[in-house]
Amino acid sequence: MFELSRESSVPLVDQICERITQLVRQGQLPTGTRLPSIRKLARLIGASAFTVVDAYDRLVARGLIESRAGRGFFVAQRRIAAPLIAVEAMPESANESVALATLCMAHCSDIVPAGSGFLPENWLLEAGSAGVLTRLRRGRRQPWLPCPPQGLPQLREQIAARLVQHGIAAGAGNIVTTYGASQAFDLLARILFTPGDAVLVEDPGYFVLFEQLRAHHVRLIPVPRRADGPDLEALEAACRAHRPRAFFTQTLLHNPSGSSADAAHCHRILSLAEQFGFAVVEDDVYGDLYEGAAVRLAQIDGLRQVIYVGSYSKLIGPALRVGYVAADVQLIAQLLERKVLSVLSGSTLLESFVSEVLDGGRYKRHVEHTRARLARMRRDARAALESAGIEFEPAEGAGLFLWGRVPDGAPVDELVRHALTRRILLARGALFSSAGNCGQWLRFNVTHSASPPLVEFLRESLPRAA
Amino acid sequence: MFELSRESSVPLVDQICERITQLVRQGQLPTGTRLPSIRKLARLIGASAFTVVDAYDRLVARGLIESRAGRGFFVAQRRIAAPLIAVEAMPESANESVALATLCMAHCSDIVPAGSGFLPENWLLEAGSAGVLTRLRRGRRQPWLPCPPQGLPQLREQIAARLVQHGIAAGAGNIVTTYGASQAFDLLARILFTPGDAVLVEDPGYFVLFEQLRAHHVRLIPVPRRADGPDLEALEAACRAHRPRAFFTQTLLHNPSGSSADAAHCHRILSLAEQFGFAVVEDDVYGDLYEGAAVRLAQIDGLRQVIYVGSYSKLIGPALRVGYVAADVQLIAQLLERKVLSVLSGSTLLESFVSEVLDGGRYKRHVEHTRARLARMRRDARAALESAGIEFEPAEGAGLFLWGRVPDGAPVDELVRHALTRRILLARGALFSSAGNCGQWLRFNVTHSASPPLVEFLRESLPRAA
């Protein structure tokens, strides 16, 4: 009845649990059956009593067996019928942006995530992360205390020190941590906007942001994004026409185009912000991947009109969800209050983890390594996609994304749907345009886009390249 | 210059970092000074080169030193002046509820947190948590993958299994995880209410919830809470007068009174909900601490009108921030979309941690131990506070909180302010009443309320007990 393997990498405790679960599920151990005593089972399988106690404890916790005082362990009765509603019956999200974000985070190892916004898991700090856990476990830090709502002081000091290295004058008091950049955008929208406000966004731009802003019932005003930054004439015209409350922009490694704005654009954006009195939200979640001397809006402006948003989810790992806002202290005080009323506080375990990663040389090396690797894969992915018929602008761009055009005449919606049946996840360009443009475009994650099944699929589906 | 101690529990790497930081701060190593080479420092202090490399890497990451290719390590120039704004200059929150929540989460070891809502740190799974990290590190689970926005499937299955043990028919599809119960309330408010809606809350009740709801511009309608549950006549009258959209209630171990509703109250609440068409949000964050056979609203109702909110932050640790909503799948789909647009997803590391704790017998034992310990301390705290002049209702209550009355004539606001100057944190009863009642009351955390400085302070400050 109990065939356990000592050579297996599966711990004995787990083997016992799995075996008993199986026997119960198959009906060989019906409800009410008494299980062997701890001592007896231990002898039977040649394990220690401690191992058996651990296994029985787990099975009790799972509700599969129950202990009756002085009488031993018994297969538990299932108290109520199995729930009628299966996970699969979950209604699909009507919102395509939410659906795409959800697909990007699903654990489907058999999918080619060409439309995903994440680095591959094995690129992240996976290998190093176990070491970070060990250090956290042994360290003098207290990952179990409640987290001050503004964020762990030590982490906020590290973030401020990094901003100072970028030439941005910020202290720990100018920082509030968030669950990723997403929460930063949500908290900012709650503070800055009232329904009907005009808000400028880049077109194309980050699709989840658009939905977040729409949920606050603001009017999205698209500003075309060029290879050297937002289109300045269109920006000025939009300011005159709409008197916006804010402009959300990515100075470096713009999602989806991979372009970076130059210093002249930064200066002009800030002049317009001053003239028309709007806030500039600088989304810098990819900035660490920028090669060379970068100019950021926050550096020129000094956190007066600029609200700077950063995140470690992209580079340390999406499992962590640690981002932050750097801003004027008055705004930080408002954000803090709003954060307390939304989630009470951050997680000390997550913030200690990021703090520990930043503290070592690990993060710097990881960023440099990732940057070089992305540049290499970017060239390969672009060549492979071009060979399959995808068209690109001449400007190279950099970072995680390639923004490519499907030749006219190929119906993109059908292509995306068809791709999914072949286990290939594509990101429709239309999602990245709040104005409903970009219908012929797709966003590609460079780390997955030289993949043979993708290239083959595109080659089959697209009209022959010239 | 380098006096390091091999006997110290502080790792050598950290000792080197601290010593160099000190020397730079004190001006003994001015900007531009070349540091000893790695080999030289290693020899000097009798450490391995690896240790010195690790220390230098950390100091570079902190911006204190910089490496110049081929020339070694130098004390870095501080590129811009120190930020003008100190953390201390942070404007204090005008909102007293937010201020109290923030104080409860501050890391002040010299404060008596008699008003806090948390278990003491050393009661939590502190000792066991290192073990959980080890298991996570070695385990077959992947705490580094992105987290599916609805929550890790394995955790949702465990939660559903626990709900089934409580007689609540729920499957993994009925669960969405949240960053603590706080995020659950925020997401629910966003979905269920439009400004001006009437929402029923218990009076007294959870003070942060009131502020969360007020932020959504709803009208709070207080329903007096009695020792056997909400006042049913007042509840019915409020339903007739205000046609509420929802009622937020704690069936078990109500905060702050420690009372639990009986089955008759549960039935009546559900009848009224059906009659008047409102949702019942059952906040069960303390329910696991209830001794004996509990009746929950969700168990009677079967997640038709009841939206059930649970959390592991209270019992596994506030550092983790893992809570959940169990509800009808239609509502779960709405919550999920709202969650994606607020925070994108939960954290795989946090959810794997909780899943690992629940999987062992650890959680069950911890809960039983905590329950017994709380009951003991409750008796002691109540006796000590009574001896100092605090008055209690005859009903005993249970759980983490004691709800006590300051004798008439003692000005409570002044008492609370004065206590804070003596490093004692008290929670003003008025915060727990949306109707502005309870001015003479205080909420005490039983684990901190037999503390001699608190009892002495109250004895000095209150009129003599009869």
DSSP structure string for B196-249: T-EEEEEES--HHHHHHHHTTTPEEEEEEEETTEE-HHHHHHHHHHH--SEEEE
pLDDT of res. A101: 83
Task: Look at residue B333 and tell me if it is in a domain.
Answer: yes
Q: Enumerate the residues of chain B whose CB falls inside 8 A of the CB of residue A124.
A: 144
List the single residue in B85, B144, B344 with the smallest CB-CB distance to A208: B344
Q: Which of B144, B252, B332 is nearest to A316 (CA)?
A: B144
List the single residue in B90, B165, B348 with the smallest CB-CB distance to A79: B165
Distance (Å, whole) CA A327 – CA A309: 9
Residues A289 and A412 in one domain: no
Q: How far is B259 from chain A (nearest CA, A)?
A: 24
Strand, helix or coil for residue A18: helix
Inter-chain CB proximity B160 and A83 less than 8 Å: yes
Task: Look at residue B332 and tell me if it is in a domain.
Answer: yes
Please check whether residue A312 is in contact with residue A181, taking contact to mean a CB–CB distance below 8 angstroms.
Answer: no
Residues B163 and B101 in one domain: no
Last residue of a domain, one of A309, A329, A360: A360
List the single residue in A56, A85, A105 with the smallest CB-CB distance to B171: A85
Supply φ then ψ for residue A281, to 5 degrees. Answer: -95, 110
Residues A212 and A304 in one domain: yes
List the single residue in A80, A171, A340 with the smallest CB-CB distance to B87: A171
Cα-based angle A10, A13, A19 (whole degrees, multiple of 5): 85
List the single residue in A86, A102, A348 with the smallest CB-CB distance to B173: A86
ipTM score of the complex? 0.85
Residues B353 and B289 in one domain: yes
Residues B273 and B305 in one domain: yes
Inter-chain CB proximity B179 and A142 less than 8 Å: no
Inter-chain CB proximity A173 and B143 less than 8 Å: no
Residues A314 and A457 in one domain: no
Task: Look at residue B409 and tell me if it is in a domain.
Answer: yes
Q: How far is A386 from chain B (nearest CA, A)?
A: 30
Residue A329 structure tokens: 């202290």
Residue A330 structure tokens: 């008055």
In chain B, the number of structural domains is 3
Mutate to test the interface with B, among A77, A78, A344, A363 (most CBs of B within 10 A): A344
Inter-chain CB proximity A337 and B98 less than 8 Å: yes
Inter-chain CB proximity B129 and A144 less than 8 Å: yes
Residue B332, C-beta contacts closer than 8 angstroms, at least 6 positions apart: A90, B150, B173, B174, B175, B176, B325
List of chain B residues with pLDDT < 50: 79-91, 466
Q: Enumerate the residues of chain B whose CB falls inside 8 A of the CB of residue A318.
A: 145-147, 345, 348
Residues A205 and A233 in one domain: yes
Neighbours of A242 (CB within 10 A): 16
| Backbone angle region of A328, left / alpha / beta, with phi > 0 → left and psi within -120 to 50 → alpha | beta
Supply φ then ψ for residue B184, to 5 degrees. Answer: -60, -45
Residue in A closest to B186 by C-alpha? A342
pLDDT of res. A283: 98
pLDDT of res. A80: 45
Residue B37 structure tokens: 């080479």
Domain containing residue A405: CATH number: 3.90.1150.10
Neighbours of B259 (CB within 10 A): 25
Domain containing residue A264: CATH number: 3.40.640.10
Q: Whose structure tokens read 């701060």?
A: B25
Residues B269 and B403 in one domain: no
Distance (Å, whole) CA A415 – CA A239: 37
Mutate to test the interface with B, among A152, A211, A347, A431 (most CBs of B within 10 A): A347
Residues B233 and B328 in one domain: yes
Strand, helix or coil for residue B115: coil
Cα of B221 vs its chain's centroid, Å: 25
pLDDT of res. A81: 39
Domain containing residue A41: CATH number: 1.10.10.10
What sections of A256-409 are H helices per DSSP?
A: 263-276, 297-301, 329-343, 348-359, 362-387
Inter-chain CB proximity A105 and B57 less than 8 Å: no
Could you report the per-residue pLDDT of B155-182, keeping only the tens digit for each? Answer: 999 999 999 989 998 999 999 999 999 9
Residues A154 and A232 in one domain: yes
Task: Look at residue B162 and tell me if it is in a domain.
Answer: yes
Task: Look at residue B412 and tell me if it is in a domain.
Answer: yes
Last residue of a domain, one of B341, B360, B379: B360
Last residue of a domain, one of B310, B343, B360: B360
Could you report the per-residue pLDDT of B108-150, keeping only the tens digit for each? Answer: 667 888 999 988 877 776 556 777 877 777 765 677 788 999 9
Q: How far is A85 from chain B (nearest CA, A)?
A: 7
List the single residue in A62, A153, A171 with the smallest CB-CB distance to B85: A171
Inter-chain CB proximity A118 and B350 less than 8 Å: no
Task: Look at residue A186 and tell me if it is in a domain.
Answer: yes
Task: Write the DSSP symbol of residue A284.
Answer: -
Please check whether residue A184 is in contact with residue A206, taking contact to mean a CB–CB distance below 8 angstroms.
Answer: no
Task: Look at residue B131 and tell me if it is in a domain.
Answer: no
Q: Enumerate the residues of chain A whose CB falls inside 8 A of the CB of residue B144.
A: 121, 124-126, 129, 317, 319
Could you report the per-residue pLDDT of A172-222, keeping only the tens digit for each? Answer: 999 999 999 999 999 999 999 999 999 999 999 999 999 999 999 999 999
Residues B335 and B369 in one domain: no
pLDDT of res. A6: 76
Q: Whose structure tokens read 């794997």?
A: B352
Distance (Å, whole) CA B273 – CA B260: 19
**Mean pLDDT by groups of 10 residues along chain A of 466 residues:** 75 86 85 91 88 84 80 77 35 73 75 88 68 73 82 94 91 96 98 96 96 95 96 98 97 97 96 97 96 93 95 88 96 94 94 88 86 92 95 93 94 93 92 93 94 93 72
Task: Look at residue A445 and tell me if it is in a domain.
Answer: yes
Q: Enumerate the residues of chain B whose CB falls inside 8 A of the CB of residue A149.
A: 101-102, 105
Structural domain boundaries, residue A108: 96-123+364-461
Q: Enumerate the residues of chain B whose CB falls inside 8 A of the CB of residue A60.
A: 361, 364
Q: How far is A410 from chain B (nearest CA, A)?
A: 31
* Sign of the CA dihedral with B338 first, then B340, B344, and B349 last: positive
Q: How far is A208 from chain B (nearest CA, A)?
A: 7
Q: Enumerate the residues of chain B whose CB falls inside 8 A of the CB of residue A217.
A: none
Residues A261 and A349 in one domain: yes
| Length in residues, chain B | 466
